[in-house]
Amino acid sequence: MVLRRSVLGLLCGIAACGPPKQPAAPAPLPRAAYAAYLDGKLAAYRDEWGNAADALADAAAAAPEQPMIAVELARAQHKAKRPEAARATLTAARARWPRHPQVWLASGDLLAASAPALAIDAYRKAIALDPDLSQAWRALAAALARAKATAELDQLGRDYQAHFGSPLTAR
């Protein structure tokens, strides 16, 4: 009888809890940040990289808590031939969001030509943080191919095949 009451009480308690709550949706961007972000993306689509970098810098200033704005800013700065600014943006982003895979992916992309070993490390970090980020796998494969790291590239291909169920193709 006591066991029956305990089980009944436990079941009622579990039923009262209900389904797990979904995480709260992120707060929308402030209007100024959203407008500047869109201006930056439109300028980028027009290949106006200087204007894109300027607008995205405004967006980053209006929404400094947004890692993806920092990532897009660094990409635009790089394409606008502002490598020092892009490096500074990504250095700050890695310090602020060390567990954000896109920050590491963008870092690898920026470093690929000038510091291939650091780019390889950044791509590996992106994959460790998000194993489903296939873009990082492909970027790592391309970096390993350029470095002529055949054994590592072969192993990466096997790991990719095991994870995704399809062959790895470099970008």
pLDDT single digits (tens) 55-110: 999 999 999 999 999 999 999 999 999 999 999 999 999 999 999 999 999 999 99
Q: Helix or strand or coil: residue 27?
A: coil
CATH number of the domain at 98-171, please?
A: 1.25.40.10
Question: Has residue 130 got a pLDDT over 90?
Answer: yes
pLDDT for residue 102: 98
Length of the chain: 171
Which of the 8 DSSP states describes residue 166? S
Binned at pLDDT 50, 70 and 90, residue 29 comes out as confident
Binned at pLDDT 50, 70 and 90, residue 27 comes out as confident
Q: CB 50: neighbour CB atoms within 10 A?
A: 14
- In the chain, domain spans: 30-85, 98-171
**Which contacts qualify for 131-135: CB closer than 8 Å, 24 or more apart?**
131/163, 132/163, 133/101, 133/102, 133/105, 134/164, 135/105, 135/171
Question: Has residue 125 got a pLDDT over 80?
Answer: yes
